[in-house]
Structure 1
Amino acid sequence: MPELNHLPPTASAAEITACLRRDGYVIVDNLVSADTMDRINDELSPYVEETAFGSDDFLGKRTRRTGSLIARSETSRSLVAHPTILDVAGDYLSHASAFQLHLTQVISIGPGSPAQAIHRDELAWDFFEFPADYQVQCNTLWAMSDYTADMGATRVVPGSHLLGTDEKFSQEDSLPAEMEKGSVLLYNGKIYHGGGANTTTDKVRQALNITYAVGWVRQEENQYLSTPLEVARTLDDDLLKLMGYQMGCFAIGYVGDVRDPMSVVREDAGGYLGIDKMQSAAAREGSANTLMNLITDAAGRPA
């Protein structure tokens, strides 16, 4: 039986990104230790146990989806901000001015759960059809235990990110993303995939779903409400910016009277965002040049 592509934990961000561009996915083996995953499991177990099962077949009537990981699990923050993953996301989504954290979730597929429908994650944005060459997401699924086909390992249709939005696939068209605890599956928003069937009688398939998106789209998980402000104020600046406490692109993301969003959590980060600060906060060189051209063209004209 064919297998999905794997890379060693020593793989560079450039190698991982190349696989994403070519295949739409890649598995990096043992990127973090099993002990790290065990600590995350210990921190999140009380919340998972209180999470209700899904309300329909797509969410999974024997599947629990537990969010708010930044607020609930200090150890999980190291995965959200894993340097290799952030380097990959930054490169893969570099066509946008900025990228942001999109979702944090533990997905727990219980025994006897049927397979999820094969789908694309981009459907989250009201089924809008993004251009085929525009990547909106860079996603990860971290194995919290050994991740096997019979437990419901995520199934991937290799190369399907190059196809259209109306494709229909069955489970037989897909391959299981089998991997060891601490390994991670990276995949983009266009690849067709779905949770596998858990055919065991006593095992729960658990994975941390941490995803990133370009800075100008709405986040799937509302990071500002998922992490209370008193918790947000204890986090480092880089993580806060990743969560969305920064400009997502020029003129999107300020607060109040055109103020830096970091001013909400840092008293010394206040200040009004003029054109120069707004473009330098989140604009890549190309968009900044376009903005400056616009300012030059409009000089002397009434607002």
Structure 2
Amino acid sequence: MAIQHVNPDTDIDVILDIIERDAAVVIDNVINKKDLNDIKNELSPYLKNDIEGDNEFTGFQTKRVGALMARSPKCRELALNPTINALSAKFLEPHCDGYQLHFTSAISIGPNETPQILHRDRGVWGGYVPRKIETQFSTVWAITDFTKENGATQVVPGSHKWDKERMPLDEEIENAEMRAGSVFIYTGSVMHGGGANQTSKNRLGVFLHYAPNWLRQEENQYLSCPPSIAKDLKPELRDLMGYSQGGYVLGFFTDPTDTEGKFESVSPKKLFGEDHDQYRIQTSEELVSSSSKKS
């Protein structure tokens, strides 16, 4: 089953239908050349480091750079892309009150890298979340061209509906080939893995994943982008990273140095001078009702 490609102006419900069917889709030509060059320049100082993986899964010829919200202004823009966020909200919110930025990484697959084992990203939670709950909405932004030869992500469209023991035939595995500036979307339940790079150049992608706001994030955003940096970011990006509450009591904080009670069991938004909290509960009945399992 080939991976379907769509244009940036495709209706989000059409894209969601493809994701429901295949758990994989490519939106072509979203980023312009100037932004691509800016992203490369912002990431270059970190990708120059000797940070290849030390096992077959992370890749002996693969470099991974995190903390993208702290390090790359252009990657912040990608994280807030309106189409991606609209898709993420509609895809994830049947199982949550909101969603959050779960993982950020620039991944550069170098020459002679071998293919990564096929896996499902939802495994990071140890298999404890029921499969009927979709845990992840994932994006891979192509900063260079993605080809089968240079390690374009391998994916098995439709495998999100398979029994977990079923393994794909070779002809069921596709590569997410796309031009630089495009974005590959896949879910946490589909089988996928990095491809083998049989060329002489690196394949670079920016990975930005989203998850329900009640799940533990794979990347600790509060250490990767601490308040001293987050204070200068857009409020909507801070909210997306988790500098907000994920429910009435999820994620509150207390400033241990506060002796006046100004920051006692409050939303992280107050750390940045914001008072609005979308999860403010007015009555005890409302609290009990909102904490009951939705039908």
TM-score, normalised relative to structure 1 = 0.87
Q: Give, in angstroms, the shift of residue 14 of structure 1.
A: 1.9
User: Residues 277 and 104 from structure 1, CA distance in 2 versus in 1: closer, same or farther, beyond 3 angstroms?
Assistant: farther
The count of residues paired between Structure 1 and Structure 2 equals: 282
Distance 1:51 1:218 in 2: 29
- Aligned pairs for 1:1-303 within 5 A: 3-95=2-94, 96-125=96-125, 127-169=126-168, 172-200=171-199, 202-256=200-254, 257-264=264-271, 266-269=272-275, 275-276=281-282, 290-291=289-290
Contact 1:147 1:180 in 2 (8 A): yes
User: Residues 216 and 148 from structure 1, CA distance in 2 versus in 1: closer, same or farther, beyond 3 angstroms?
Assistant: same
- Gaps of at least 5 residues in structure 1 are 280-286, 295-303
- Gaps of at least 5 residues in structure 2 are 255-263
Distance 2:276 2:240 in 1: 18
One-letter amino acid of the structure 2 residue matched with residue 132 of structure 1:
R
One-letter amino acid of the structure 2 residue matched with residue 66 of structure 1:
V
Structure 1 stretch displaced more, 47-56 or 65-74: 47-56
Contact 1:9 1:31 in 2 (8 A): yes
One-letter amino acid of the structure 2 residue matched with residue 225 of structure 1:
L
One-letter amino acid of the structure 1 residue matched with residue 275 of structure 2:
A
Q: Give, in angstroms, the shift of residue 165 of structure 1.
A: 2.6
One-letter amino acid of the structure 1 residue matched with residue 74 of structure 2:
T
User: Residues 171 and 142 from structure 1, CA distance in 2 versus in 1: closer, same or farther, beyond 3 angstroms?
Assistant: farther
Identical residues among aligned pairs (%): 36
TM-score, normalised relative to structure 2 = 0.89
1:174-206: CA deviation from partner (whole Å, max 9, x where unpaired): 111100000000011000001010011x21011
Distance 1:210 1:77 in 2: 10
Secondary structure at the aligned position of 1:47 is classed as helix
Q: Give, in angstroms, the shift of residue 260 of structure 1.
A: 0.9
Q: Which residue of 2 aligns with 1:298?
A: none
Distance 2:239 2:106 in 1: 22
One-letter amino acid of the structure 1 residue matched with residue 179 of structure 2:
E
Distance 1:229 1:238 in 2: 14
Structure 1 stretch displaced more, 165-174 or 214-223: 165-174
Q: Give, in angstroms, the shift of residue 240 of structure 1.
A: 0.5
Distance 1:292 1:220 in 2: 25
Distance 2:243 2:166 in 1: 37
Instruction: Give runs of ≥4 in structure 1 deviating > 2 Å.
Output: 129-133, 164-173, 267-271, 273-279, 287-294
One-letter amino acid of the structure 2 residue matched with residue 116 of structure 1:
Q
**Superposition CA RMSD, Å:** 2.4
